[in-house]
Amino acid sequence: MLLRASPLSPFVRKVRMAILYLGLAERIEVVRADPMNPEDVLRHDNPLGKIPALITDDRTAVYDSRVILEYLDHVAGGGIIIPDGWPARLVVLTTQALCDGILDAAVLIVYESRHRPAEIRHPPWLDYQRGKVARGVAALAGKPPDPARFDVGTIATACALGYLDFRRQLDWRTDFPSLIPWLDAFRAAHKEFDATAPVETP
Ligand SMILES: N[C@@H](CCC(=O)N[C@@H](CS)C(=O)NCC(=O)O)C(=O)O
Q: Average of pLDDT values for 187-194?
A: 98
DSSP 6-58: -TT-HHHHHHHHHHHHTT-GGG-EEEE--TT-TTSTHHHH-TT--S-EEE-TT
Tell me the average pLDDT of the chain: 97
- CA–centroid distance, 39 to ligand 1, in Å, is 17
Residue located nearest, by CA, to atom 12 of ligand 1? 50
DSSP 154-180: HHHHHHHHHHHHHH-SS-HHHH-TTHH
Residue located nearest, by CA, to atom 15 of ligand 1? 50
Cβ–ligand 1 distance for 51 under 6 Å, the answer yes
The DSSP 8-state label assigned to residue 119 in this structure reads G
pLDDT at 123: 94
pLDDT by residue (tens digit) across 116-157?
999 999 999 999 999 999 999 999 999 999 999 999 999 999
pLDDT at 200: 82
pLDDT at 99: 98
- Residue 202's pLDDT band (cuts 50, 70, 90): low
Of ligand 1's atoms, which has the minimum distance to the CA of residue 100?
A: 19
Residues 151, 114 contacting (CB under 8 angstroms) = no
Residue located nearest, by CA, to atom 13 of ligand 1? 50
Of 37-51, 63-77, 112-126, the range with the lowest mean pLDDT is 112-126
**Does the model's pTM come out above 0.85?**
yes
